[in-house]
Amino acid sequence: MPESRRPRLVDVAERAGVSPRTVSNVLHNHPHIRDSTRKKVEEALVALDYRVNLSARALAGRNTGFIALVIPVLDNPYFSSLAAHVIEACAARDWTVLIEQTSAQEDRERNAVFGPASRLVDGVILQLDSIPEEELSRRFSHSSLVLIGEEASAAWADHVAVDNVSAAREATEHVLALGRRRIATAGILPSGLNTTSELRYRGVWQAMEAAGVSLRTDYLLEVGNFRRPDGADAAERLLRLDVLPDALICYNDLIASGMLAKLREAGVSVPEDIAIVGFDDNEESQYQAPPLTTIAWDLGAIAQRCVEQLVERSQPGGDSRPPARTFVGHELIVRESTVSTRP
Amino acid sequence: MPESRRPRLVDVAERAGVSPRTVSNVLHNHPHIRDSTRKKVEEALVALDYRVNLSARALAGRNTGFIALVIPVLDNPYFSSLAAHVIEACAARDWTVLIEQTSAQEDRERNAVFGPASRLVDGVILQLDSIPEEELSRRFSHSSLVLIGEEASAAWADHVAVDNVSAAREATEHVLALGRRRIATAGILPSGLNTTSELRYRGVWQAMEAAGVSLRTDYLLEVGNFRRPDGADAAERLLRLDVLPDALICYNDLIASGMLAKLREAGVSVPEDIAIVGFDDNEESQYQAPPLTTIAWDLGAIAQRCVEQLVERSQPGGDSRPPARTFVGHELIVRESTVSTRP
DNA sequence: GGCAAGACTTGCAGCGCTGCAATATGATGT
DNA sequence: ACATCATATTGCAGCGCTGCAAGTCTTGCC
């Protein structure tokens, strides 16, 4: 087989008997093209099996067709599901998504947002983790940025806001309404740097305060991370206490899953002995034994809004628009880990 | 703030008092550069906060620094975990990973492999799903391709092979060894197009045949997909049968998870009444009630090998190397869904 | 002191495409 | 038939970088 080079725009143009620019116009659905011309070009396109060189297009043109999604980890159902939704939303617009996995390391997050790849993308969707907002706002200028996070943050960038404090408050109120008073909470990070953890704690605290129930310090369970083994660890510490709590707010479903498994092993019954609430509504949570009460975010809506905001920014004049803020709601999904259906 | 353009190589060169080519050499760790020169350049690099334009580099140079990972879906723990591993392996080499999610649709898979984005990448890692191998081998030529899949396939491309047939056989032999004889299997796809499903079925069949046990057709459970709800559906059909099986081979852990939940609900005990085996060893599987016996693949090794093979191919002379084949083993992890630890 | 063999640096061309603005062609009205 | 407008097509320059090959400067050694 001859080592033939890939066809270029000029090759297509030559074959179709038009100028390269016309071929480009056809590819971009330029409004004024005679049908006969379009037909000729399209035939040549097919005959040569032409595929545009995205590097060249990006270099010459205004935008690249890439956006970056910067998240801590991919093998967490919350983020992989978010990523799947973002990819779907982008596919509809012929955008390609670069997923940058930071492993929650600040230097990697910084590299994702400021490094070479950031030059390549038309926009960035960032689940803000450790970069200080102040630094972001100072250095970010070259493309659009959508933050996923708190209502409180960022009056300087578009963002899609979720309300962790309210969500945590509602979760806690739910178990309080069930009559539970010895409430423990799992998901405090020792570093205190992670906003999500802090805000969920704050919500729990608010609900307790409002109900006049005290929060025992030995019921504040630290975790190294937000994964299942961290939940299991926390459960072991919990089981060593003299008095077990009667309710447990876990800051995500993975922690809850780890706790659930260990408690089951120890013969603690859920929800009779301990009611458990999680966050995120991972699909697996409804298949747990017992199915897990949890806070559900509308990930589809979050992804959709992020992409829409990127679209709006990239529209002519979108640059000068004031930062937009969208609130995406949440919902407490009550399942058997807090409310038994057994007789 | 003035709308200053991003600094280019020439700007750095000017500031450092050298030629653009020298700056490029510094960036590429060219061997012969005087320390004093390097120092000047690096200072200018920092002062201007220079970041290379990847589009330009890709256009001018030999490679792009991108590879594509083409998988059916991202919100399946097997694939998100694989993706996470691939991203890690690539990060070490300053490669960026484009994840193409095909939703198991043939046209999207084809677009991912042959479409514009494929022109951009130095290599492709493909979990082959529906594109016929013959078509792939005929059309794929412009960059390196690593297939993840069966030993049987592809003598024309590099691939990292797993052995689904043996794995399924071992899983089945395991339950046979436990004395189970009424063995059901869940994960048959109606289309029959999906290789994985077929191969796992074949393994089950081989083990049954070898043991002289017959496979009842009403124990062959079809699924629409490999997700939890599909498992739950299958479980409902299973529960309507007169005689329940005493063992169940599910073609992935998600199906097993869905089945487990429904069986639990129906009061069927696992493993006493039915022993269950899954595939993939998702992290969640060890947290199930009961923890799930499953086939574990070494995803880290798969990702590692895929990336290594891409590296080897992109080395000078790598082009002409014969296709390499690496086998990645599997392991049956026995947990309580088949072997009870209860007294 | 002269010359080869490094060590170090550079100029040039061009990757393949698109923005821009100009031109060519056709349709319409008078 | 000719100006006018809308439709349709084009040429040119250049995006920012790297491959290549050729250049210049050092150094060591006879």
Beta bridge partners of A188: A222
pLDDT tier, B312 (very low <50, low <70, confident <90, very high otherwise): confident
Say if residue B132's pLDDT is above 80.
no
What is the DSSP code string of B32-52? ---HHHHHHHHHHHHHHT---
| pLDDT the model gives residue A343 | 54
Instruction: Render the burial of A172-189: b for 16+ CB within 10 Å, e for the rest.
Output: bbbbbeeebebbbbbbbb
Contact flag A284-B142 (C-beta cutoff 8 Å):
no
Average pLDDT rounded to a whole number, residues B31-38: 89
CATH code 3.40.50.2300 region(s) in chain A: 66-162+299-329, 164-297
Compute the nearest-CA separation of B119 from chain A (Å).
Answer: 6
Q: For residues A20 and A221, give the distance between their C-alpha atoms in angstroms, rounded to a whole number.
A: 65
What is the DSSP code string of B80-107? HHHHHHHHHHHHTTT-EEEEEE-TT-HH
| pLDDT the model gives residue A192 | 63
Contact flag B75-A81 (C-beta cutoff 8 Å):
yes
Say if residue B180's pLDDT is above 60.
yes
B8 touches strand D (CB under 7 A): yes
How far is residue A37 from each of residues A7, A23, A24, A31, A49, measured CA to CA in Å?
19, 9, 12, 13, 18
| pLDDT the model gives residue B192 | 63
Compute the nearest-CA separation of B59 from chain A (Å).
Answer: 6
Nearest CA in chain A to B6: A142
Q: For residues A226 and A278, give the distance between their C-alpha atoms in angstroms, rounded to a whole number.
A: 11
pLDDT tier, B340 (very low <50, low <70, confident <90, very high otherwise): confident
Nearest protein residue to the C1' atom of D9, measured from CA: A22
The model's pLDDT over B47-60, given as tens digits with 9 standing for 90+, comes to 999 999 999 999 99
Say if residue B223's pLDDT is above 90.
yes
CATH architecture of B9-52: Orthogonal Bundle (1.10)
A28 touches strand C (CB under 7 A): yes
Peptide bond into B2 cis (omega under 30): no
Q: For residues A239 and A228, give the distance between their C-alpha atoms in angstroms, rounded to a whole number.
A: 17
| pLDDT the model gives residue B343 | 55
- CATH class name, domain A164-297: alpha beta
Q: Which residue has the higher pLDDT, B171 or B311?
A: B171
Average pLDDT rounded to a whole number, residues B82-97: 89
CATH code 3.40.50.2300 region(s) in chain B: 66-163+299-328, 164-297
| pLDDT the model gives residue A248 | 97
- A300 contacts on B by Cβ (under 8 Å): none
Average pLDDT rounded to a whole number, residues B147-176: 86
Phi, psi (5° rounding) for residue B122? Answer: -80, -20
| pLDDT the model gives residue A107 | 84
Question: Residue ranges of chain A with pLDDT lower than 70?
Answer: 1-4, 141-143, 151-154, 192-194, 316-319, 342-343
pLDDT tier, B2 (very low <50, low <70, confident <90, very high otherwise): very low
Helices (H) and strands (E) in chain B, counts: 13, 12
Average pLDDT rounded to a whole number, residues B2-18: 83
Q: In Å, what is the separation between the CA of B26 and the C1' of D21?
A: 19
| pLDDT the model gives residue A111 | 84
What is the DSSP code string of A30-55? -S---HHHHHHHHHHHHHHT----HH
Summary mean pLDDT of chain B:
89
Query: ∠ at Cα A41 (A40, A44), nearest 5°?
Result: 90
Query: ∠ at Cα A229 (A288, B265), nearest 5°?
Result: 10
Average pLDDT rounded to a whole number, residues B244-273: 96
| pLDDT the model gives residue A342 | 62
Beta bridge partners of A276: A248
Which CATH superfamily groups domain B66-163+299-328? Response regulator (3.40.50.2300)
Percent of chain B at pLDDT exceeding 90: 62
Say if residue B97's pLDDT is above 50.
yes
| pLDDT the model gives residue A26 | 92
- A260 contacts on B by Cβ (under 8 Å): 287
Contact flag A84-B96 (C-beta cutoff 8 Å):
no
A60 touches strand C (CB under 7 A): yes
Which CATH superfamily groups domain A66-162+299-329? Response regulator (3.40.50.2300)
Bases of chain C within 7 A of a CB of the protein: 7-20
pLDDT tier, B321 (very low <50, low <70, confident <90, very high otherwise): confident
**Which nucleotide's C1' sits nearest to the alpha carbon of A32?**
D8
Q: How buried is B332 (Cβ within 10 angstroms: 0-12 exposed, 13-18 middle, 19+ buried)? A: middle
B278's tokens: 């899954």
| pLDDT the model gives residue B151 | 61
| pLDDT the model gives residue A4 | 62
Q: Which residue has the higher pLDDT, A139 or B216?
A: B216
pLDDT tier, B173 (very low <50, low <70, confident <90, very high otherwise): very high
Ranking A247-251, A328-332, B273-277, B314-318 by mean pLDDT, the lowest is B314-318
